[in-house]
């Protein structure tokens, strides 16, 4: 449910806005002063802000400016005077919409819905989903670099994570220790390939139910390892 903050010093107007918005299924809070309104808008989570222009203590211009700097949510500014609206537009404070009092509550609700939908689209399209690999109870979130085994999160060192991810991304492919060493440690395979063995052992301790009978990373004797899909 979307949560809306109304900063408005005229109680009758604030209540009217709240009633209509609640009827449309929104959760609504009211602040009657500019300073408390600003504080709430900055420090609590709202999906949209309805902001009166003339307010005690801190006016709507200042609230709009400060909220815009820190928060990404639609701001609808409300004013009694058409002149004020022109002034706000001119200042380029970044409000998303302007409504002149008196206004029709149903029109206000329609605008609120339109702005929320627009922000959802913007944020939705800008949000990248994490790159996740899931194989038989193992979930690897490559973006967050986190691993879960049967729903339980396990901690991996950087190289353990890289090695596990590389194997899981290439299931049923047998890699020699040399190949894995080159792939993960990123140098010519002059180094100690026993490092690979050590890392495989540590990974198995975290993902395998029984390390003597690995279900995920199998040893192919005389060749190397493979991740069984
Ligand atoms: Ca006012």
With residues binned 3-state (H G I as helix, E B as strand, rest as coil), the percentages for the chain, rounded to 5, are 45, 20, 35
The answer, yes or no, to whether residue 189 has pLDDT greater than 70, is no
Query: What is the Cα–Cα distance from 205 to 217, expressed in whole angstroms?
Result: 11
Q: What is the pLDDT of residue 187?
A: 64
Q: How far apart are CA 229 and CA 216, in angstroms?
A: 7
pLDDT, one tens digit per residue, over 42-69 is: 999 999 999 999 999 999 989 999 999 8
Return the SS3 of 109: helix
90-146 confidence digits (pLDDT tens): 677 778 888 988 889 999 999 999 999 888 877 665 555 678 899 999 999 988 899
With a CB cutoff of 8 Å and minimum separation 6, the contacts of 180 are 163, 166, 167, 196, 224, 225
**Alpha carbon of 147 to ligand 1 centroid (Å):** 52
Residue 188: its pLDDT value, please? 55
93 C-alpha vs ligand 1 centroid, how far in Å? 18
Measured in angstroms, how far is the CA atom of residue 98 from the centroid of ligand 1? 14
CA of 208 to the centre of ligand 1 (A): 65
Task: Report how far ligand 1's centroid is from the alpha carbon of 56 (Å).
Answer: 8
CA 183 to chain centre: 32
Terminal alpha carbon distance of the chain: 40
Say what the pTM is: 0.56
- Distance, CA 84 to ligand 1 centroid (Å)? 12
* 54 C-alpha to ligand 1 centroid (Å): 4
pLDDT in the model for residue 1: 82
Q: Say how many Å lie between the CA of residue 52 and the centre of ligand 1.
A: 6
Q: Is the dihedral of CA 150, 155, 160, 161 positive or negative?
A: positive
What distance in angstroms lies between residue 158's CA and the mean position of ligand 1's atoms? 56
The rounded Å distance from CA 59 to ligand 1 centre is 9
**What is the 110 CA–ligand 1 centroid distance (Å)?**
22
């Amino acid at each position: 449910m979307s949560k809306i903050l109304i900063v408005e010093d005229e109680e009758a107007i604030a209540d009217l806005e709240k009633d209509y918005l609640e009827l449309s299924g929104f959760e609504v809070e009211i602040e009657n002063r500019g300073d408390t309104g600003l504080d709430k808008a900055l420090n609590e989570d709202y999906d949209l802000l309805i902001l009166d222009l003339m307010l005690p203590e801190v006016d709507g211009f200042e609230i709009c400016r400060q909220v815009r700097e820190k928060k990404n949510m639609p701001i609808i500014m409300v004013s009694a005077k058409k002149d004020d609206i022109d002034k706000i537009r001119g200042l380029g404070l970044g409000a998303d919409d302007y409504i002149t009092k008196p206004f029709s509550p149903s029109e206000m609700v329609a605008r609120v819905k339109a702005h929320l939908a627009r922000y959802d689209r913007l944020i939705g399209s800008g949000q990248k989903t994490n790159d996740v690999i899931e194989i038989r109870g193992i979930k690897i979130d490559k973006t967050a670099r986190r691993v879960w085994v049967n729903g339980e999160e396990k901690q991996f060192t950087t190289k353990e994570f890289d090695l596990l991810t590389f194997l899981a991304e290439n299931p049923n492919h047998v890699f020699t220790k040399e190949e894995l060493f080159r792939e993960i440690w990123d140098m010519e395979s002059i180094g100690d390939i026993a490092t690979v063995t050590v890392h495989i052992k540590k990974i198995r301790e975290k993902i395998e139910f029984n390390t003597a009978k690995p279900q995920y990373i199998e040893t192919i004797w005389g060749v190397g390892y493979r991740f069984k899909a």
